[in-house]
């Protein structure tokens, strides 16, 4: 087992609505990522994937509030710090975040070099302009971006180029953890491939030590990450290696998700997609038993009223369900 770079332990965060209601969007999430590994997070919209990403940065703004839990990056606990301290010492060097709509992340009136200056000067206010430019040029060249990009405005770049620029700028200080929240879902397939290739390159050259990749595109996760973890209603329901999760999902929710995979390969045509009926529960009042019981076709009364035995997701395989692996596999066979 390699060195653990990121450890999240029992993280709980909530949103407070304007009617002062609490929505527990991330509710007791624990996992670890080792050095050089990437972890994918899958799940439906509204199951807390993006909130998990925001919470992990330790950068809390209303309506998002921190409740409890630890986020440990390379032995350093960053949870519960003041947002200003987080911005000056953590973001960019320890952890970097790539949002989905990178096109909107760039101010259209500024040149790209200004964003690089912003990132570097947030940590070192006295950094020299010339040095910054040299540093940016070398890094851009290594990642296959032309250095002319630095003197362009965001509007002059295509969508794929903008996303790659955002990735290059946000990782310029070689953060230990990169959180990518649907970095390619607004792009066409060829640009998506380039973005993924660039992220691989970052990992291989050691500019980032580990990656958390969030998306609902399962074939993409399967190809990009080492492990996949499935989230539902603010909690993790299953974790395993990419191959195990796609071809042999255990939790009924993961099984349902894998049934919605669409790929242009022989044999996918003619089968019926299995969609999970219903919608995720309202997290203002989470159900008392298993959160998936309402939509699960194997749920019993025990599932609905008694909480699920807690499972750890530190390493290897783990899932949260009352039923045993054999029972579930048998049930899927008869479907």
Partner 1 sequence: MSETRERKDYTNSPLCLSGRGVTKIFGLGDKKTVAVDHVDFDFHEGEFVSIVGESGSGKTTLSKMLLGLINTSEGEILFQGKPRNISSGRKKREYWKGIQAIFQDPFSSFNVFHKIDSVLLDCINMRGGRMLSHEKKVEMMTEACSFVNLKFAELTNKYPFELSGGQMQRLMIARIFLLKPRILLADEPTSMVDACSRATILDMLLDLRDETGMTIIFITHDIGLAYYISDTVYIMEHGRFVEYGKADEVILNPQAAYTKRLISDVPKIHEEWDLSTVELKAE
Q: Which of 151, 95, 165 is nearest to 123 (CA)?
A: 95
Binders of partner 1 among 249-268, rule CB under 8 A?
A: 256-257, 259-266, 268
What's the closest the beta carbon of residue 161 comes to partner 1, in angstroms? 6
Selected from 160, 183, 240, 289, the binder of partner 1 by CB under 8 A is 160
Compare residues 71 and 145 and give the one whose CB is closer to partner 1.
Answer: 145
Selected from 17, 279, 288, 312, the binder of partner 1 by CB under 8 A is 279
How far is 159 from 161, CA to CA, in rounded Å?
Answer: 5
How far is 237 from 231, CA to CA, in rounded Å?
Answer: 6
Selected from 196, 203, 308, 331, the binder of partner 1 by CB under 8 A is 196
Q: Is 155 in the site for partner 1 (CB under 8 A)?
A: no
Phi, psi of 31 (to 5 degrees): -165, 170
Selected from 2, 146, 206, 316, the binder of partner 1 by CB under 8 A is 146
| Neighbouring C-beta atoms of residue 277, cutoff 10 Å | 10
Instruction: Kindly indicate which of the ranges 6-14, 22-30, 141-149, 312-320 contains the residues binding partner 1, using the contact rule CB under 8 A.
Output: 141-149
Long-range contacts of 109-118 (CB under 8 A, 24+ apart): 109/153, 110/153, 110/154, 111/150, 111/151, 111/152, 111/153, 112/149, 112/150, 112/151, 112/152, 112/153, 112/154, 112/165, 112/169, 113/150, 113/151, 115/169, 116/150, 116/169, 116/172
How far is 303 from 323, CA to CA, in rounded Å?
Answer: 9
Structure tokens given for 187: 């792009």
Compare residues 170 and 191 and give the one whose CB is closer to partner 1.
Answer: 191
What's the closest the beta carbon of residue 224 comes to partner 1, in angstroms? 8
What's the closest the beta carbon of residue 83 comes to partner 1, in angstroms? 30
Compare residues 1 and 273 and give the one whose CB is closer to partner 1.
Answer: 273
Instruction: Kindly indicate which of the ranges 10-18, 84-92, 119-127, 191-199 contains the residues binding partner 1, using the contact rule CB under 8 A.
Output: 191-199
Q: Is 246 in the site for partner 1 (CB under 8 A)?
A: yes
Mode of pairing for the β-strands spanning 235-241 and 64-73:
unpaired
Instruction: Kindly indicate which of the ranges 58-66, 77-85, 269-277, 302-310 contains the residues binding partner 1, using the contact rule CB under 8 A.
Output: 269-277
Q: How far is CA 88 from CA 91, 122, 123, 125, 302, in A?
A: 7, 6, 6, 10, 49
How far is 162 from 144, CA to CA, in rounded Å?
Answer: 13
Instruction: Kindly indicate which of the ranges 27-35, 110-118, 190-198, 203-211 contains the residues binding partner 1, using the contact rule CB under 8 A.
Output: 190-198
What's the closest the beta carbon of residue 155 comes to partner 1, in angstroms? 15
Q: Is 222 in the site for partner 1 (CB under 8 A)?
A: yes
Compare residues 17 and 77 and give the one whose CB is closer to partner 1.
Answer: 17
- Cα 107 to chain centroid, rounded: 24
Selected from 62, 269, 301, 326, the binder of partner 1 by CB under 8 A is 269
Whether the Cβ atoms of residue 233 and residue 291 lie closer than 8 Å to each other: yes
Binders of partner 1 among 79-118, rule CB under 8 A?
A: none
Whether the Cβ atoms of residue 185 and residue 100 lie closer than 8 Å to each other: yes
Q: Which of 118, 56, 93 is nearest to 174 (CA)?
A: 93
Binders of partner 1 among 44-83, rule CB under 8 A?
A: 44-46
Compare residues 17 and 124 and give the one whose CB is closer to partner 1.
Answer: 17
Mode of pairing for the β-strands spanning 235-241 and 318-319:
antiparallel
Residues that bind partner 1 (CB under 8 A): 44-46, 143-146, 148-149, 158-161, 188-190, 192-194, 196-198, 200-201, 216-220, 222-224, 246-247, 256-257, 259-266, 268-277, 279, 335
């Amino acid at each position: 087992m390699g060195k653990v770079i990121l450890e999240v332990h029992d993280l709980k965060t909530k949103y407070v609505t304007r009617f002062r209601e609490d929505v527990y969007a991330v509710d007791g999430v624990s996992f670890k990522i080792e050095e050089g590994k990437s972890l994918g997070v899958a799940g439906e919209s509204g199951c807390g994937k993006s909130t998990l990403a925001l919470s992990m940065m330790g950068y809390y703004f209303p309506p998002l509030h921190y409740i409890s839990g630890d986020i440990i990056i390379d032995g350093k606990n960053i949870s519960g710090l003041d947002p200003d301290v987080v911005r000056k010492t953590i973001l960019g060097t320890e952890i970097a975040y790539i949002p989905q709509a990178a096109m909107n992340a760039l101010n259209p009136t500024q040149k790209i070099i200004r964003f690089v200056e912003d990132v570097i000067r947030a940590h070192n206010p006295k950094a020299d302009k010339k040095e910054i430019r040299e540093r940016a040029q070398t890094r851009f060249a290594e990642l296959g971006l032309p250095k002319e990009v630095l003197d362009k405005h965001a509007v002059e770049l295509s969508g794929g180029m903008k996303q790659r620029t955002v990735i290059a700028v946000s990782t310029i200080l070689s953060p230990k953890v990169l959180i990518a929240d649907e970095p390619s879902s607004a792009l066409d397939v060829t640009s998506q491939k380039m973005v993924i290739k660039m992220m691989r390159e970052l990992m291989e050259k050691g500019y980032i030590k580990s990656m958390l990749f969030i998306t609902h595109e399962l074939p993409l996760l399967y190809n990009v990450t080492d492990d996949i973890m499935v989230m539902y209603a603010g909690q993790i329901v299953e974790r395993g290696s990419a191959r195990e999760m796609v071809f042999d999902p255990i939790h009924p929710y993961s099984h349902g998700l894998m049934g919605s995979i669409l790929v242009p390969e022989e044999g996918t045509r003619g089968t019926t997609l299995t969609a999970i009926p219903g919608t995720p529960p309202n997290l203002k009042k989470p159900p008392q038993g298993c959160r998936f019981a309402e939509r699960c076709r194997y749920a019993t009364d025990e599932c609905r009223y008694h909480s699920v035995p807690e499972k750890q997701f530190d390493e290897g395989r783990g899932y949260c369900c009352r039923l045993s692996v054999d029972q579930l596999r048998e049930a899927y066979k008869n479907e």
